[in-house]
Structure 1
């Protein structure tokens, strides 16, 4: 609804205007009526108005003076002049202040509707122009901050009118998933230190050009729904080399990803001047195997929570946390050697959006391991499993296996998928990767040798497949698997 204000010193006219037409049908609502133009100006200082209907002959203030003052307060407001017969000088003055039309008293309802419709068209044009200008400004800010602007930095800064001294303190602020984005954007538009902002998915990135004290004042004055007490806010260190904004932005993105991944609900994060090195070390498979051996199924949830909570407190990266989850998965498999891990399990870990997703995968896998020991397959599927386990080094295909068993490839493939939950090709690939994992753990064979030993024609394809599934290379996994276990978690 667009907001309308009517100003006239005649009480009966003010009383009659709301009854003249169906304002709601036009998308309008009369939010204020005033007999005194001075009181009207006081209202306009604090409340937005889209359309002003004003008499031009009022005793407290001359109409032209009132309209000029109102225009200064709200430049985009549409003005409609109300005049009595013979007030032509006042009408002329009103038009000079940008009034879109004048209406003679008594007001003709049809003429009022037409004039209001014209005002609405003007407002729509202004809104479109403002939106386009805001979008252009946001696009330029995004290009400057993210490094996507191929033009010179000075050219981009000039487009944002960043005529600042070289010593100016620049920072990036990230406000995560603001609950009331419109309220936030309206607030940003009024802040002198906000050089620009843009949306990045559900978050808002702000280019701020003030001191540390001004940053804190800005955050304290944010609307309650988007401030640090309600939403996570990340503040970068001072950007001393303005050409390095894109590098600082990547640090901010890293921090944003961590907040979502570890599901931190709110709070202020002040990034340090220097990026800290990763201090969290990957545990070995044997270490986690020892910790998991005596944990009951009901206690696994608490154990996983403690493990991931500790990683969040130690500022572990999202990537490292996923790698730890992979090692936990392998430690669980070590306790259930007959269970073959699948690429689907690894894929779910590598694509997990949150720690809760990681926990779900690990708990479901633990449950599947317990059930697998009791599972029985049909004769056809049992024979396929036996062929794969004895001849996985060969270039096996479903057609070749079906031929040996004198079965239709389509029928056998459907039966295998129904009972095992994977295609023959997927199971074969996962079986080979599981065999490779054991060779990496138990032998000193070269990675190239292991690739051929488990049935891959080329080492490069083996490397690519292994890296895709475990989120680490064969060499990186071997290093983790052979790491000496800690005293508290040893299990040999």
Structure 2
């Protein structure tokens, strides 16, 4: 925070603090992150200037220690959403491809998030990833004492000191999910595993338990009971959950119209899609898209 007259050269202020920062590091071995507020002449301006400087603290996660930052430096930051391929990451996890999933996270956080990005874009992408992992755990009824629930994971995101802390939290959570899925997979009979794979691949089609039972030469009633017992929900609910999960990704990551998304995931009736989606997520597709703008 600098108390000075209007028109003070911000470049000189930045140079002063950068030099101070270097001295502190060399003499005391202390790493700092300095936020430079606007200059002011009237004492009553102090609260607003202080709040402005505090807002800059969140940029520590992108800039890292050993840097100075001012409001002017972030004015032209790119506020566009950071592109995350949720479908691809989901495939890596469901196929238990741990190395591929970890490499994707490493590349996303290290190579695709630049210092020119706005910190709000980073947080928005991280929250989407946390929601994706929560959906997978909920959909597959995964349980582990080492899991973080959605609120804990989001708290970790916003309390992390740097981008590596967020990356590490996601890699740890994904590794635990994949490990848990290996154990869960052994609980499914071969026919249930086949049905789950069929849904993941052909969720757009008009699928029902009767046609699947005919394909696998089984009684439809018995197959329904078996699926309910092993998966924890009916086949119809599982299919609906899968459709709605894919729809959520399209709502958050594309500009497709809601009607087109409904058809894309296999709902010819948009009104029915709205009802099923709200049952799953507690909000309508249109409301979720509005939340995306946050």
TM-score between the two structures when normalised by the length of structure 1: 0.34
- C-alpha change, 1:366 and 1:295, in structure 2 (3 Å) is same
Superposition deviation, residue 273 in structure 1: 7.2
Q: Find the aligned partners of 2:292 and 2:19 in 1 and give their Cα distance.
A: 50
Q: Find the aligned partners of 2:142 and 2:97 in 1 and give their Cα distance.
A: 21
For 2:246, the equivalent position in structure 1 comes to: 438
For 1:453, the equivalent position in structure 2 comes to: 276
Cα RMSD (Å): 5.5
For 2:115, the equivalent position in structure 1 comes to: 313
Larger Rg: 1
- C-alpha change, 1:476 and 1:372, in structure 2 (3 Å) is farther
Three-state SS of the structure 2 residue aligned to 1:463 is coil
Q: Which has the higher contact order (CA 8 A, sep 6+)?
A: 2
Q: 1:255 aligns with which of 56, 62, 67?
A: 56
Contact 2:37 2:53 (C-alpha < 8 Å) held by counterparts = yes
Q: 2:151 aligns with which of 347, 350, 354?
A: 347
Q: Find the aligned partners of 2:241 and 2:273 in 1 and give their Cα distance.
A: 10
Q: 1:369 aligns with which of 159, 175, 178?
A: 178
For 1:9, the equivalent position in structure 2 comes to: none
Matches within 5 A, 1:473-488: 474-475=288-289
Contact 1:286 1:331 (C-alpha < 8 Å) held by counterparts = yes
Superposition deviation, residue 332 in structure 1: 7.5
Matches within 5 A, 1:316-335: 316-317=118-119, 319-328=120-129
Which has more strand, going by share of residues? 1
Q: Deviations over 1:349-387 (max 9, x none)?
A: 322222344323422343222541442449999855645
Q: Find the aligned partners of 1:307 and 1:301 in 2 and give their Cα distance.
A: 10
What is the aligned residue count? 226
Alignment of 1:208 with 2:3, yes or no, is yes
- C-alpha change, 1:277 and 1:372, in structure 2 (3 Å) is same
Superposition deviation, residue 278 in structure 1: 3.9
Q: Find the aligned partners of 2:292 and 2:14 in 1 and give their Cα distance.
A: 47
Superposition deviation, residue 320 in structure 1: 2.6
Superposition deviation, residue 462 in structure 1: 0.9
Three-state SS of the structure 1 residue aligned to 2:234 is helix
* Structure 1 portions without partners, runs of 5+: 1-172, 174-206, 394-430, 467-471, 480-492
- C-alpha change, 1:218 and 1:273, in structure 2 (3 Å) is closer
Q: 1:389 aligns with which of 217, 234, 259?
A: 234
Superposition deviation, residue 215 in structure 1: 6.8
Q: Deviations over 1:30-77 (max 9, x none)?
A: xxxxxxxxxxxxxxxxxxxxxxxxxxxxxxxxxxxxxxxxxxxxxxxx
Q: Deviations over 1:310-346 (max 9, x none)?
A: 42512331x4323323444677899999746899553
Superposition deviation, residue 235 in structure 1: 1.1
- C-alpha change, 1:451 and 1:362, in structure 2 (3 Å) is farther
Contact 2:105 2:171 (C-alpha < 8 Å) held by counterparts = no
- C-alpha change, 1:242 and 1:264, in structure 2 (3 Å) is same
Q: Find the aligned partners of 1:328 and 1:271 in 2 and give their Cα distance.
A: 28
* Structure 2 portions without partners, runs of 5+: 190-224, 251-260
Matches within 5 A, 1:76-475: 173=1, 207-209=2-4, 211-212=8-9, 213=12, 216-217=15-16, 220=19, 224-225=23-24, 230-239=31-40, 246-259=47-60, 261-262=61-62, 264-272=64-72, 275-276=75-76, 278-283=78-83, 285=85, 288-289=88-89, 297-298=98-99, 300-309=101-110, 310-317=112-119, 319-328=120-129, 339=140, 344-351=148-155, 352=157, 353-354=159-160, 355-367=163-175, 368-375=177-184, 376-377=186-187, 383=228, 386=231, 388-390=233-235, 436-440=244-248, 441=250, 442-443=261-262, 450=273, 452-453=275-276, 456=279, 462-463=282-283, 474-475=288-289
Q: Deviations over 1:402-457 (max 9, x none)?
A: xxxxxxxxxxxxxxxxxxxxxxxxxxxxx98766323444525799855632573x
Q: Find the aligned partners of 2:32 and 2:242 in 1 and give their Cα distance.
A: 43
Which has more helix, going by share of residues? 2
Q: Find the aligned partners of 1:320 and 1:285 in 2 and give their Cα distance.
A: 15
